[in-house]
Amino acid sequence: MGDLEDVYNELIMEHSMNSYNKKNLENADFCELGHNPNCGDEITLEVKLNGDIIEDMAFNGHGCAISQASTSIMIDTLKGKTVEEAKEIVKTFIEMIKRETTNEDDLKKLEDAIAFKNISHMPARVKCALLAWHTIEGILNKERK
């Protein structure tokens, strides 16, 4: 398991330092601010829908490596998915972090976001890892109405 954890750490470092998802979208349908006062993390998520599909997503903001990487990896994971699929993935990610699920088949849906699995053992970092996911949850629930 040691090697696998190294791969995950590298992935998180890569996304936190220089994310290609950190930019502005033209014609975003949704723009939502997420804030984690415990750590000072702040992100702005922008989402562009094409019918029911998440066509594009991007973010801006600042904060710790975990919050920034979690946002960027979430964008990679959810882009191209339908709103319903995205909701399911977001729910699974939150359950993984809260240690409410360890179902391997469910966790596979998370793709690279599974890299944050061990965050569930670091209570101080949980809110950092969840920030973007709670923010997109707010957008996706709004969309339904």
Strand order in the sheet with 53-62: 30-36, 41-50, 53-62
CA-CA distance, 10 to 58, in Å (whole number)? 21
Query: Does 64 sit near Zn ion (CB under 5 A)?
Result: yes
Q: Does 68 bind Zn ion (CB under 5 A)?
A: no
Of residues 32 and 41, the one with the C-beta less far from Zn ion? 41
Q: Which two tokens stand for residue 79?
A: 């882009």
**SS3 assignment, position 119:** helix
Residue 72 is a binding residue for Zn ion (CB under 5 A): no
Question: Is there binding between residue 65 and Zn ion (CB under 5 A)?
Answer: no
Report the candidate in 80, 81, 102, 82 with the shortest Cα–Cα distance to residue 92.
102
Site string for Zn ion, 92-131 (x = CB under 5 A): ------------------------------------x---
Q: Is 41 in the site for Zn ion (CB under 5 A)?
A: yes
The answer to whether 70 contacts Zn ion (rule: CB under 5 A) is no
Positive or negative, the Cα torsion across 46, 110, 120, 143? positive
Structural element, H or E, at residue 42: strand 41-50
Size of the site for Zn ion (CB under 5 A): 6
Q: How far is the CB of 34 from Zn ion (least distance, A)?
A: 11
* Minimum CB distance to Zn ion, residue 17 (Å): 15
List residues binding Zn ion (CB under 5 A).
39, 41, 63-64, 67, 128
